Amino acid sequence: MGKLKVLLASSEVVPFAKTGGLADVAGALPLVLEALGVDVRVIMPRYGSIKAVGESAAIGKNVKVYFAASDEYFSRPELYGDKFGDYKDNLDRFTFFSKAIFNILKKDNFKPDVIHCNDWQTALVPVYLNTLYKYDPFFSKTKTVFTIHNLAYQGLFPKEEFPKIGLDWSLFNMHLFEFYGKVNLMKAGIVYADMINTVSPTYAEEIQTKEFGCGLEGVIAERRDRLVGILNGIDYKIWNPAFDNKIFKKYSINNFADKYTDKARLQEEAGLKVNSRIPLIGVISRLADQKGFDLVADIIDKVLAMDLQFILLGTGEHKYHVLFEKIQKTYSKNAAIYLKFDAILAQKIYAGSDMFLMPSRYEPCGLGQLISFKYGTVPIVRQTGGLKDSVDEFDPSTGEGSGFTFTSYESGRLLAAIKKAVSAYGNKNAWEALTKKIMGYDYSWKRSAEDYVDLYERAREQS
């Protein structure tokens, strides 16, 4: 077999367009695949915000990015919707994108061994390959991999819109597109893909259960022989306190004391008492139920009654904005709340905090805990999905483990985990040993990219 050829299809790619973790994956993974010798290219819609000239651009030095262009569908500022809600023509838009992928490949005469599709926006690609393009010799050797980044977003549309997809009504049945009377793109993608993965091994198991399956657990379980979990990596060119120009003072394992300069300056900027002895808990997150904020809401008064400081950066659901505005007023001494998206402040919080809180209800992978490791900031997490795969309970008697955890989704358990963390913080030497250890962890993309190469090879072997 010759060099592996892969097209990664994504509705968002860093640095061109981003609303979530998918964009980070689509922007970082191809660069590492290329270094591993894969002939990889990327395709995404050309949104109104994309300034690059021409039909393509590059990420890294020479990974080609194709843009699927349509004034009608993509010359708008946002990706999926605006303040009035999702765009009404999203099915037209991503049907257009999925079909454009085949046309662009032909036009450029690039015959990938694997098209790597991501989430519902490109879920039609495996379907089209096995229907519209089933007998097209150009794609006779092409297989598909479908990655589920978050099963909660499935691409659901009213039944009446099914004809827009351009396939026979006979495919609108409960084994393929139909989902409780609606059209479900993700479901069809899962059924038709040659290989499927999610972004952590534990989430791959969880989504086969009723609790996490969002109604698709049966469909997924049926395909479990084709399903694997691959933890995302992070880009250490961006996330590394030794090189981070946005933080107050750079530091590494060798000059770890400088982290306390970052802490002091963060405390100062946030209007908190400057004192290295007081444990500082950071949160950087979408404010959504997924992230466990109902648990936080339950116990926040008890937490802030302790001798600690709390700094939160996030935006999201209105009820949590209301909650945290109230917290800011009530606990102005030891809480600092920023209800906004701010990438630079995020870096300062990762650097300046002692602990990072992430009590998610479910978490496909989670990047916050991996970033925290690198900044020597100890995660406090719920054992679910990618959090379970990356954070182990710290045992003060042996020094083993990497953070503070709880399992059952109960606020009392979360409070207990926070108390354990605060208590461990009191032992300066043990704490410093823990922080230095987690800073040495390697969650770079290299390992995960090798797993993706294996996954592509498995897809290629399917008949």
Which parts of this chain interact with ligand ADP (CB under 6 A)? 20-21, 284-286, 313-315, 341-343, 346, 365-368
The distance of closest approach from Cβ of residue 431 to ligand ADP in the complex, given in angstroms and rounded to an integer, is 23
Cis peptide bond prior to 15, omega within 30° of 0: yes
Longest dimension (CA), the chain: 69
The distance of closest approach from Cβ of residue 347 to ligand ADP in the complex, given in angstroms and rounded to an integer, is 8
Q: Is 2 buried (19+), middle (13-18) or exposed (0-12) by CB count in 10 A?
A: exposed
Give the long-range contacts of residues 133-136, CB within 8 A, separation 24 or more. 133/102
Nearer to ligand ADP, 129 or 231 (CB): 231
The distance of closest approach from Cβ of residue 60 to ligand ADP in the complex, given in angstroms and rounded to an integer, is 20
Q: Is 175 buried (19+), middle (13-18) or exposed (0-12) by CB count in 10 A?
A: exposed
H, E, C per residue of 331-381: CCCCEEEECCCCHHHHHHHHHHCCEEEECCCCCCCCCHHHHHHHCCCEEEE
User: Could you tell me what percentage of the chain is helix, strand and coil, using 3-state DSSP and rounding each to the nearest 5?
Assistant: 40, 20, 40
Nearer to ligand ADP, 12 or 113 (CB): 12
Nearer to ligand ADP, 20 or 396 (CB): 20
The distance of closest approach from Cβ of residue 342 to ligand ADP in the complex, given in angstroms and rounded to an integer, is 5
Minimal CB distance residue for ligand ADP:
21
Nearer to ligand ADP, 305 or 322 (CB): 322
Nearer to ligand ADP, 311 or 367 (CB): 367
> What is the identity of the amino acid at 376?
G
The distance of closest approach from Cβ of residue 197 to ligand ADP in the complex, given in angstroms and rounded to an integer, is 16
Q: Are 223 and 190 in contact (CB under 8 A)?
A: yes
The distance of closest approach from Cβ of residue 409 to ligand ADP in the complex, given in angstroms and rounded to an integer, is 17
Nearer to ligand ADP, 189 or 385 (CB): 385
Q: Are 187 and 151 in contact (CB under 8 A)?
A: no
CA dist 256 and 277 (Å) reads 15
Nearer to ligand ADP, 183 or 351 (CB): 351
- Give the C-alpha distances (Å, rounded to integers) separating 143 from 5, 136, 146, 153, 463: 11, 13, 10, 24, 9
Nearest of 9, 110, 14 to residue 68 by alpha carbon: 9
CA dist 453 and 450 (Å) reads 5
At 433 the three-state DSSP class reads helix
**Residue with structure tokens 């519902």?**
120
Nearer to ligand ADP, 313 or 327 (CB): 313
The distance of closest approach from Cβ of residue 291 to ligand ADP in the complex, given in angstroms and rounded to an integer, is 7
Nearer to ligand ADP, 99 or 374 (CB): 374
The distance of closest approach from Cβ of residue 383 to ligand ADP in the complex, given in angstroms and rounded to an integer, is 16
Nearer to ligand ADP, 331 or 375 (CB): 375
Q: Are 345 and 313 in contact (CB under 8 A)?
A: yes
Q: Are 54 and 60 in contact (CB under 8 A)?
A: no
Q: Count other C-beta atoms under 10 Å from residue 48's C-beta.
A: 13
The distance of closest approach from Cβ of residue 286 to ligand ADP in the complex, given in angstroms and rounded to an integer, is 5
In the DSSP assignment, the letter for residue 279 is -
CA dist 99 and 371 (Å) reads 36
**Residue with structure tokens 């660069």?**
31
Q: Count other C-beta atoms under 10 Å from residue 289's C-beta.
A: 16
The distance of closest approach from Cβ of residue 15 to ligand ADP in the complex, given in angstroms and rounded to an integer, is 14
The distance of closest approach from Cβ of residue 225 to ligand ADP in the complex, given in angstroms and rounded to an integer, is 27
The distance of closest approach from Cβ of residue 226 to ligand ADP in the complex, given in angstroms and rounded to an integer, is 24
Angle at 195 between CA 225 and CA 459, to 5 degrees: 110
Nearer to ligand ADP, 91 or 284 (CB): 284
Q: Are 457 and 4 in contact (CB under 8 A)?
A: yes
Nearer to ligand ADP, 15 or 426 (CB): 15
CA dist 67 and 100 (Å) reads 9
